[in-house]
Structure 1
Amino acid sequence: MSADSYNAVTWLLDRNVEEGRAEKLAFTDTVSELTYGGLQKQSRRLANLLRQLGVRREERVAMIMLDTVDFPVVFLGAIRAGVVPVPLNTLLTSDQYAYVLADCRARVLFVSEALLPVVKDMLGRMPDLEHVVVSGKEAHGYKKFSDEIAPESEVFATAATHPDEPAFWLYSSGSTGMPKGVRHLHSSLAATADTYAKQVLGIREDDVGLSAAKLFFAYGLGNALTFPMSVGASTILNSERPTPAVMFALMNKYHPSIFFGVPTLFSAMLNDETLKHERCGSRLRICTSAGEALPESVGNAWKSRFGVDILDGVGSTELLHIFLSNAPGDIKYGTSGRPVPGYNVRLVNDAGAEVPDGEVGELLVDAPSAGEGYWNQRSKSRRTFEGHWTRTGDKYIRDADGRYTFCGRSDDMFKVSGIWVSPFEVESALITHPAVLEAAVVPEADPEGLLKPKAFVVLRAGANTAGLHELLKEHVKQKIGPWKYPRWIDVVDSLPKTATGKIQRFKLREHN
């Protein structure tokens, strides 16, 4: 390739083969496995398949695929061809899939057999969709992935793409509406590996990674594909729902050295009474958390039980991975840590002026991995991507040591008696009570029309509910202050969440 040409697959995959890792395990999904050399060959076959199907450079192919070895084949094969893969959340509804497929105008859909029933009835209504390829044992009348790819050539001239050319799209989780397509560039994958993976996580060639977060969204894509491939490491893929039992079983079978989780899962793994004697394999050296701020109590409990730290951080679909993080030897549970090397951050008030230490502000990030905008959403792109800076929509506070603590989403914060209240702070206080497993807090108007905190709590099994409401109110008063306690408390069976584990507080507000 010329000096102004760069294809992400050349760096991610071909480099590993050239450096002697052709026989090194790249991915296993408990049923199949792929070496780096095998993945290179399969990705070339996939690129040739796309050419046979008439897909041209810069056109999109959609992926509704579980985490199996077929996922990196499709994702990397499309990028190799200069075609844009669009991995989609595997938990969407049929209507949401119809919206996204129409929005991205995908020419081809790659779909796992288990997910085909969700989309089958609407596939004929997609005017731009010409081919459906099914990954699995049966294709149910569509093209079968293994049959389609097998006869294709292992020779393919990788597209001479530009480093600033869109390589793939990721759709936002849609926690407040229909998903938005974020366009990411060929250079973005290496940017996340050179910053967080290399300088914070310290990933190594001998690492084996296991990510509870799936490949279809930004956190999981970095964890399970970009980061291990950046150093020639190996990844365990999990196609099942990441329950505590499933994750413990995988950890004890494969003995990962890095476990990438989310706060909800860490808490569930700690609190499942049927799994209280389970361990995390024999090689685990570090864990990471993102998707939602990790409560201090969960981080301390995990370290106490398993002897391994969790590096809590914050990232976003728009910025592709983590940009604020705790680091080995520099961990303070309850905070999101410090800026990842290579990322600049600032906190601003509603007028756009920077706020001093100790004051709440909206977090803006200058990121080498930022997307170039939302597809067909010009006004939202202009509100989010402001030159070098990306608005995260997160409210943070910075202490004198330069650590950042999450306060809530901009649209979740509210004032009580003229003072900002962070739902996350109240939630973190509530879950330190022995009866509470999970909590979510939203504003509710009192009879005078003034906003006060209202809590929704999920109780631990067997919790004593006698006088619980008053006990919880007093508990919060003692923990974080008398004006922040929830005036109303509803006990619920579960909390609404996105696929990334984020609490959908807007649904609780609508419930009110």
Structure 2
Amino acid sequence: MNPANGNAAAHFVDRHVEEGRADKPAFVECGPGGRSLTYGELASESGRMADLFCRHGIPPEARAAMIVLDQVEFPVIFWGSLRAGVIPVPLNTLLSPDYYEIILDDSRARALFVSHELLPVVAPLLPRLKHLKAVFVIGGEPGAHLSFADELAASETGGTAQAEPDECAFWLYSSGSTGRPKGVRHVHGSLKATADTFGAQVLGIREDDTVLSAAKLFFAYGLGNAMTFPMAAGATAALFRGRPTPADMFAAMAELRPTIFCGVPTLYAGMVAHMAKETPGGLDRLRICVSAGEALPAEIGNRWKAQTGADILDGVGSTEMLHIFLSNAPGDIVYGTSGIAVPGYQVRLVDEAGREVGAGEVGELLVNGPSAADGYWNQRDKSRSTFEGHWTRTGDKYERTADGRFVYCGRTDDMFKVSGIWVSPFEVEQALVSHPDVLEAAVVAHKDEAGLEKPRAFVVLKNGHAPDGLAETLKEHVKAKVGAWKYPRWIDIVPDLPKTATGKVQRFKLREGA
């Protein structure tokens, strides 16, 4: 490894071979027939990617799209691209063909790596993508395309390209909780920045840890959980390629006995409900958990702690900041809050005029830290309105308590006023899920007959059916919990809530359908 090389792969891949971890598993796949990948194998296999790109006319700085499940090929392609100077663009594996076409065209991807299970989704649109030069299929029959395994095996192993820490390394597309995804450009130095801050100083990840993340690698949160953080420490990450249901997550835990588990609030709620019916195995080594994506209701955090013995570090991050920058920490946890700034980051709350607000007031959260994105691709106005010098606008509304902790109030677009006073949808949702019959809840603004905005709640029940008079019971429950004027005037019992693949509730869809 060249000490002066700012290529992130030098730190996260090459270093481990030099420090004697070549034979240690870096990744293990969950389930029957699951494969493993050692740090040495990752270095060797990822080192072949430069030759693979060269042979197929994919130059450095070109984009290589990845529609890849959480499997051992993902880190090979991601780190191999960085080593080659090519820019990997991991994509959500649950998008529709229309979205894939928009993103592949927007990114001008020259190469596409796709898991064979997902090839039928994108195959019809591939002939229309004028920038695409090569399609590599992972597993299965490649058909008219290239076999990734065969092409990698035919490639020569090389070194790591020289890069600067401030050089563009990879793109992520925003999860789309508010509409059309945006290409977020990140530099090499941001990966180590998140590992040195949240990974090392808050999570406290160690070389002997085994990490299981329900959040997928294509998501900024999952990329840190299951790749950046464990690889920074020389730990082992478990890869789960399926959809993370509570039953499947507990099965993976029973198989791998992780020490760290990373999920999202919706999943934790489902897992808590699952544990009420049966006691799962595989929790004996669990020492800490992480939650992000949306704020974790206090009720869920307390019940998880009571049932598993492990605390959940609830925090907030974003695709634009790459990972968590505001969080609770071991020994300093207050459920129902997002904690305080992660070491290395600064946060502040401002009103609509940009003035800082005081304790107890609601303001938009701005963050300053070393992992901020280099901007959006092809969306200059969006970049200017989000990235203001050293500060990044998160679009989240927060309140700071007198003791300096931050309490989530909702997305800027989700907040609304009732009788001239701000209402936090999240506060009402927390009150609803504290009722024993409620599994999930989402609250949006809805206009009454006078054209005034009032809270409307969409509720998913634990047992699937509503007891007589439940709607009125829930209204009174909310009044008692958070105040008479905040209660939902309408309550819709629904089978599920619309969510992104990363578990965020898409409230804009609820507003549109209300």
TM-score, with length taken from structure 2: 0.98
Whether 1:55 and 2:58 are equivalent positions in the alignment is: yes
SS in 2 for 1:97: helix
Once the two structures are superposed, what CA deviation does each residue of 1:169-206 show, in whole Å capped at 9, x if it has no partner? 00001122211000000000000000000000000000
Q: Indicate conservation of the 8 Å contact 1:253/1:281, yes or no.
A: no
Aligned to 1:347, the other structure's residue is in SS state: strand
For the pair 1:116 / 2:119, whether they are aligned, the reply is: yes
Which residue of structure 2 lines up, in the alignment, with residue 465 of structure 1? 467
- Specify the alignment match of 2:22 in structure 1: 22
2:374 counterpart residue number: 372
Alpha-carbon separation, structure 2, partners of 1:176 and 1:327: 29
Q: Is the 8 A contact 2:255 2:282 kept in 1?
A: no
Aligned partner letter, 2:19:
E
Q: Report the alpha carbon displacement of residue 465 of structure 1 after superposing the two structures with TM.
A: 2.0
Give the counterpart letter for 2:41 in structure 1.
Answer: G
Question: Which secondary structure does the structure 2 equivalent of 1:272 belong to?
Answer: helix
Query: Structure 2 matches for 1:203-214, cutoff 5 A?
Result: 203-214=205-216
Question: Identity rate of aligned residues, in percent?
Answer: 64
Alignment of structure 1 residues 79-118 onto 2, 5 Å: 79-118=82-121
- Report the Cα distance in structure 1 between the residues aligned to 2:277 and 2:171, rounded to whole angstroms: 38
Tell me which residue corresponds to 1:361: 363
Q: Which amino acid aligns with 2:98?
A: D
Alignment partner, residue 456 of structure 1? 458
TM superposition shift of 1:463: 4.7
1:128 offset after TM fit, Å? 0.2
Whether the 8 Å CA contact 2:399–2:409 is kept in 1: the answer is: yes
Structure 2 contact 65–104 (Cα < 8 Å) conserved: yes
Moved more, 191-200 or 280-289: 280-289
Offset of 1:4 from its aligned partner?
6.5
Q: What's the secondary structure of 1:110's corresponding residue? A: strand
Q: Deviations for 1:38-72, whole angstroms, at most 9, x for unmatched residues?
A: 00000011221111111111110000000000000
For 1:362, what is the secondary structure of its paired residue?
Answer: strand
Deviation at 1:447, TM superposition (A): 1.1
Query: How far off its partner does 1:272 sit?
Result: 2.5
Residue in structure 1 matching 2:178, options 162, 168, 176: 176
Query: Partner of 2:252 in structure 1?
Result: 250
Partner of 1:163 in structure 2?
A: 165
Cα deviation, 1:112-152, whole Å, max 9, x if unaligned, reads: 00111110100010000011100012212211111110121
Secondary structure of the residue aligned to 1:79 is helix
Q: How far 1:274 sits from its partner (Å)?
A: 8.4
Q: Which amino acid aligns with 1:473?
A: K
**1:94–1:118: 8 Å Cα contact kept in structure 2?**
yes
Report which stretch shifted further, 456-465 or 51-60: 456-465
Provide the residue aligned with 1:77 in structure 2: 80
Structure 1 match to 2:480: 478
Residues 415-426 of structure 1 mapped to structure 2, 5 A cutoff: 415-426=417-428
**Unpaired runs of 5+ in structure 2?**
none
Displacement of 1:273 in angstroms is 6.7
Secondary structure of 1:328's aligned partner? coil
Verify the 8 A CA contact 2:464 2:495 in the aligned structure 1: no
- Contact map agreement 1:269 1:275 (CA 8 A) in 2: no
What is the alpha-carbon distance in structure 1 between the residues aligned to residue 125 and residue 246 of structure 2? 34
Deviation at 1:245, TM superposition (A): 1.1
Q: Does 1:302 align with 2:304?
A: yes
RMSD: 1.2
Matches within 5 A, 1:123-134: 123-134=126-137
CA distance in 2 between counterparts of 1:173 and 1:200 reads 25
The aligned amino acid for 1:354 is E
For residue 335 of structure 1, give the secondary structure of its aligned residue in structure 2. coil
Distance in 2, Cα, partners of 1:246 & 1:157: 39
Q: Is residue 4–residue 163 contact of structure 1 (8 Å, CA) maintained in 2?
A: no
Give the count of matched residue pairs.
Answer: 511
SS in 2 for 1:483: helix
Partner of 2:506: 504
Amino acid in structure 1 at the alignment position of 2:329: A
State how far apart, in whole Å, the 1-side matches of 2:454 and 2:466 are: 26
AA paired with 1:96? Y
Q: In 2, distance between residues paired with 1:4 and 1:250? A: 40
**2:293 touches 2:504 (CA, 8 Å); kept in 1?**
yes
Instruction: Name the structure 1 match of 2:324.
Output: 322
Change (3 A) 1:275 1:44: farther
Aligned equivalents of 1:273 and 1:285: distance in 2?
18
- Tell me whether 246-255 or 384-393 shows the greater mean CA deviation: 246-255
- What does residue 412 of structure 1 align with? 414
The residue identity in structure 2 corresponding to 1:124 is P
- 4+ aligned runs moved over 6 Å, structure 1: 1-4
Residues 273 and 369 of structure 1: CA distance in aligned 2, closer, same or farther (over 3 Å): closer
Query: Aligned partners of 2:4 and 2:346: how far apart in 1?
Result: 26
Q: Indicate yes or no: 2:147 matched with 1:141.
A: no
Return the alpha-carbon distance in structure 2 between the equivalents of residues 41 and 416 of structure 1: 60
Contact 1:195–1:340 (8 Å) recurs in 2: yes
Q: Structure 1: which amino acid aligns with 2:104?
A: L
Which amino acid in structure 2 is aligned with residue 64 of structure 1? I
Task: Summarize deviations over 1:321-350 as a string: whole Å, max 9, x none.
Answer: 000000000000000000000000000000
Segment drifting more, 464-473 vs 194-203: 464-473
TM-score after normalising by structure 1: 0.98
Residue type of the alignment partner of 1:236: A
Is 1:272 paired with 2:295? no
- In the TM superposition, residue 276 of structure 1 has moved relative to its aligned partner by 2.3
Aligned residue identity for 2:440 = E
Whether contact under 8 Å (2:396, 2:412) holds in the other structure is yes
CA contact (8 A) 1:25 1:34 kept: yes
Q: How far apart in 1 are the matches of 2:58 and 2:443?
A: 47
**How far off its partner does 1:28 sit?**
1.1
Shift of 1:3: 7.8
Letter in 1 for 2:388: E
